Each structure stands twice: as structure tokens, then as C-alpha cells.
Amino acid sequence: MHEAIQPNGEIPVMRAPLVIAAFWGWSDSSGTAMGASRYLRDVWGATEIASVDADRFYDLTVARPHIRRENGEPIVRWPGTRFHFATPPGSERDVVVLAGREPGLRWKEYADALADFMQTVGAKHFLALGSRPTEVPHTRPAPIQLGDADPYFEQLFGRTSEPSSYEGPTGIQTVLMLHLRSLGYSTARLTALVPGYLNVGPSPRAVMSLAEELDRALGSHTPLQLLEDEIAPFERRVETVTGQMDDPGMMHTQLQQLEDKYDSDAAEAVELPSSSELLEGIEALLRRSRTEDGNEPSAR
């Protein structure tokens, strides 16, 4: 394994591992992806198996280490990226959750280190989680977009990849994806669309949307009750913040407009079955009826 990655003991043998990455910074200003990674690590019972060398990739005068106490004794918590191994409940494959602050130094070496890690654990697929602020209400499930995905991930999620024509400054997420893809790895980006008017931490609805999307792809059954319990307190915090604005009535009106547009778009997205699909359904029902009754159904 690359010398910049420090294992915590022996690396376990994994079944078709998927590497899921979240970075606090450029690609996740709302903290939604980081919140999702922490939540999944907790409910999946993940174990930390490795971390990156903080001195090599971080300016510690910018990303300072933190002090915490264990039994009254000070412990230094260094900034960086940590790798957690998990087996999502119900899934037939393992996952490595890679999460941390976006590195500030040596991005090319960082990308090489990640590629080496993936080769070591036998991972062929890399999924980056992120969030993007836009005009959606915090009172509804967060829309999810699949982007920069190859056919493998389009099939896995049952989604068409959103094309991107962006040019300009970018983050470590994109650098990693392009580097890994150049080496033959399969990559994609899963992005939660979050309210652009909020700055009160990650929305539990957005974290839940990411978790549910991963469950559909992995065939897993992630417990979501803790997130559901956080929705009401989160929305009360939002009400408190918006109530302190210069014109809370205007904010309420804008929220109502966003909710109406969201609900209208959701209704339009519901597709009715085609006539051929309806006929196939009727024929299947008639065949099932014949099988169950042992007789041909009478025509009326």
C-alpha cells in the first residue's frame, strides 16, 4: 500500500467493494455528504481500517488538529481522510467509506495513494458523494442527481447520468474521479440538491435521500429512524432562523412557492403506463387467473 496511507491493523478481505467518498469543502459546502458518510458509518457498524498522513497532505496552520478528552486525558485528533470498512445490512457487497477534509497539498500524490488503496482492496468502483445548493424547499425530500457516471453506475442506480459542461476551478472530488478513470476504474458522482437559502447544517431529509439512493443500488436496508427523528427539530431550527430575518413573511412566501413548484414537478414526473404496458398487465392477470382457477376466465 502507498506509504501515505497508514493501515489500522490488517486490511480485511472484501466482497466486490465499492469505495464511497465524501469531502468537506468544495463539493459539499452544506455538509450533507459528510453527514451521510458519518451516519452510514454509524448505522452500518463500520470499522476504521486506515487513514492518510496528515503532515503530507494538510497545511496544519489552516486545517488545525483538535484536542479531545478521553478519561480526562488530552488526545490529538488530526485532520485528514479516514477509511472505514462496512457491510451494509442486506447487501451482497462490502463498502469502504472514505471521508474527511479536502486535502490542501499534493493532490496528485493523494490521487495516486487512493488508486493504490483501491488496487490493494480489490475495488473497481468509486462513488463520490456531494451536495449542491439550488432552489428546493427544506420541507421536501432532496432531489438526487447522478453525474459524470459511466454505464456501470447508470445501470447500478437506474439513472441517466447528468452531463456537465463546467469549466473553472474544481475540487479534489473531480481530480480523483478523472485520475481513477484514466487508470480504468469506474467512477460516478451522486449529488444531493439542497436549499440554497439555508446555512444551519446538513438537512436530515437530504442525508436520508442519499442513504435511500445507496440502499436501492446496494440492495441494502439502512435504518433511517434516527434521521426521521431529526426532521422536526431541524425544521424548528430553520423556523427560528428565518423568523429572525428582516422580512420573515417574504421568506415564508418564497418557501411556499418552492414547495408548490417541487410538488408540481413531482406530479409531472409520474408517468402513466403506455397502452402496451396496460395490455401486458391485463394478459398477465388473465394468465394468473387461469393458473389459479384451472379454468379459462369467461368473457363478458
Q: Which of 240, 263, 283 is the last residue of a domain?
A: 240
Pair 96, 173 in one domain: yes
Residue 254 lies in a domain: yes
Q: What are the counts of helices (DSSP H) followed by strands (DSSP E) for the chain?
A: 9, 10
Q: What is the pTM of this model?
A: 0.85
Do 142 and 56 share a structural domain? yes
8 A C-beta contact, residue 42 and residue 5: no
Write down the H helix ranges in the chain: 32-43, 54-57, 107-121, 151-157, 172-182, 204-218, 225-243, 248-269, 275-293
Residue 198 belongs to a domain: yes
* Torsion sign, CA atoms 110, 113, 115, 117: negative
Residue 143's SS3 state is: coil
Looking at the fold, whether 224 and 267 belong to one and the same domain comes out as no
Do 137 and 203 sit in the same domain of this protein?
yes
**Same-domain pairing of 256 and 125:** no
The rounded distance, in Å, linking the Cα atoms of 137 and 18 is 31
User: What is the pLDDT tens value at each position of the chain, 300 positions in all?
Assistant: 899 999 998 999 999 999 999 998 888 988 999 999 999 999 999 999 999 998 999 988 888 888 989 888 999 888 889 999 999 999 999 999 999 999 999 999 999 999 999 999 999 999 999 999 999 999 999 999 999 999 999 999 999 998 888 889 999 999 999 999 999 999 999 999 999 888 777 999 999 999 999 999 999 999 999 999 999 999 999 888 888 878 888 888 888 999 999 998 887 765 444 444 444 554 555 555 455 444 443 333
- Quick one: 46 and 195 in the same domain? yes
Q: Which residue has the cell 444551519?
A: 200
